[in-house]
Amino acid sequence: MRLLAETLPRLRFTRAQAVDPGGAFAGRVRELWLEVGFGSGEHTLAQAAAHPWAGIIGCEVFENGLCSLLSRLVPEGGEATAPLPGNLRLWTDDARVLLRALPAAALDRLFLLFPDPWPKARHAKRRFVHPALLPDLARVLRPGAEWRIATDDPTYQGWVAEVLADQPFFTAPPPAATRPDLWPPTRYEAKARTAGRAICYWSLTRRDG
């Protein structure tokens, strides 16, 4: 597919660029934001368009999601030539690999919206919200940085509440039941609401130290 062969390389964020992530973008950026598992890309693209001064790295390992985002950016026939957002880059490997490659305090904002809940107990270790991953997240998020989490899955909601209840890294107020202002909607969120599923929205803040 031409989107993957011609457009994706123009936006790909590489392991080498993680050493100096701000230098990966076409222009100067004031902040660095990361979205883990962007799905169809609606939220990532909305944030990139609304905040041109923020460098946004979107993480997605599934080709369907990558193609969905890329097809929103370029018309058919323009895969190799159509202009692309200078403040957007894409990481197509495991997000945990990127976290460990980024410098300390590199991120100003992190998004984890409607992740795979991995509902079976034996799969819990695969969840991105996990006690073992919190130190890596704390290292890469600067003090005062925001981490936004949203999920409609009751198992994951309970898991997030449990993980956040006893950790020293983030201030974690109770989740909101309605999407806060300045959170662009997603296709998956609309489907969840249509199905009558309750959604929890967390806004965490990285503590000092």
Catalytic residues: 116
Q: Are residues 70 and 3 in contact, defined by beta-carbon separation less than 8 angstroms?
A: yes
**E-state strands within the chain:** 31-36, 54-59, 88-91, 107-113, 141-151, 170-171, 200-206
Contact present, 73 and 85 (Cβ < 8 Å): yes
Longest dimension (CA), the chain: 52
* Tokens found for residue 160: 């997030």
d(C-alpha 131, C-alpha 160), whole Å: 10
Q: Report d(CA 193, CA 200) in Å as an integer.
A: 12
